[in-house]
Structure 1
């Protein structure tokens, strides 16, 4: 069974607040409105879930923050007992990420490439079959398919212009008004 991600972008509105300590977190937008994908590479890189590519998770196993908004808490609790691996990450943390940082381990899966009409190779899938303890950098062709054993970098898992771009744009816009520490992504998974 696959794993899907759920959650909210939350914001602690500080604009016009006299005492920032009194500001509380609000669920700004449901993640389902911004991200509809299922990228295990991104899930592993960001939160350590289905981490086949061997990344050091940016925000693994943090749980729900104690000051989570009531809407986010209620939505998470509605998934019980099926919701798991709750975590969160602030925009300030995401903005400081080195997206060229390599994974700590070689990807457990073999990348499969097929030829396009112009004869270039394009990544079409990843598979647990075929690796047989081949070393990092190994590549071979079988039946017109190119196979590679690679170590990914964070940018490979979460491309800047990929499926996560609407999430990052939303968080960035909120951070422009309220500051990066006052914007966070709270997630959980089902499987």
Structure 2
């Protein structure tokens, strides 16, 4: 079973003499509904097979959440139970803006990157578990054995090349991928309300 992401973009309004108030602006589903595990791990520490230092993991559901989002989260919790979701957290636009997208993961990807030779050179075809039968037999792994491989280690098994790769944040949250619409929406709100007053709140279900 796969892991899916849900959430809202919120903005905070600061008025003289009043408590700051968060308002819901966008449902994440309308901007990004793709289950990209590398991005989940890089940003929020969920399904972090690529071994990134998460940017915003485990912060929980904000106590000052907007009324609309709090009502929606309460409704979902009632339907699916308190254990129906995990990884609830949030990140501000100020934090996103400060990210070094060239920062590497803390160690190589837990999944070996798999390539095939094409007329135009090597083409990545998958991220493979290293206990695949053909690979395990070729390198002498026992059934179910888990091992970490040094960066750059590679093996040619038949016409498939397996390589140990350390990803950088840009590889996980690519400029042409599913996250730019989210960043654009947050940036637009931040131009009006300020970088620290725009945040993305997310949660995950399996």
Task: Decide: shared fold, TM above 0.5.
Answer: yes
**C-alpha distance in structure 2 between counterparts of 1:170 and 1:109, whole Å:** 32
> Matches of residues 1-150 of structure 1 in structure 2 within 5 Å?
1-14=1-14, 18-19=15-16, 22-80=19-77, 81=81, 82-116=84-118, 118-129=119-130, 130=135, 132-150=147-165
Deviates more, 1:87-96 or 1:76-85: 76-85
Higher-Rg structure is 2
- Alignment counterpart, residue 185 of structure 2, candidates 150, 170, 182: 170
Instruction: Evaluate the alpha carbon distance shift between residue 143 and residue 25 of structure 1 in structure 2; reply closer, same or farther with a 3 A threshold.
Output: same
Report deviation, 1:132: 4.6
The alpha-carbon deviation at position 21 of structure 1 amounts to 5.5
Distance (Å, rounded) in 1 between the aligned partners of 2:123 and 2:74: 41
Q: Larger deviation: 37-46 or 71-80?
A: 71-80
- Residue by residue over 1:78-135, the C-alpha shift from the partner in whole angstroms, topping out at 9 and shown as x without a partner, is 332212111000000000011111111211101112234x422222211222485432
Unpaired runs of 5+ residues, structure 2, are 136-145
Structure 1 moving runs of 4+ over 4 Å = none
Gaps of 5+ in 1: none
Contact 2:154-2:161 within 8 A present in 1 as well: yes
CA RMSD of aligned residues (A): 1.7
Deviation at 1:20, TM superposition (A): 8.1
Per-residue CA distance 1:125-146 (angstroms, 9 max, x = gap)? 1122248543211122222222
Number of residues of Structure 1 aligned to a counterpart in Structure 2: 187
SS in 1 for 2:188: helix
Given the two structures, how large is their TM-score scaled by the length of structure 2? 0.84
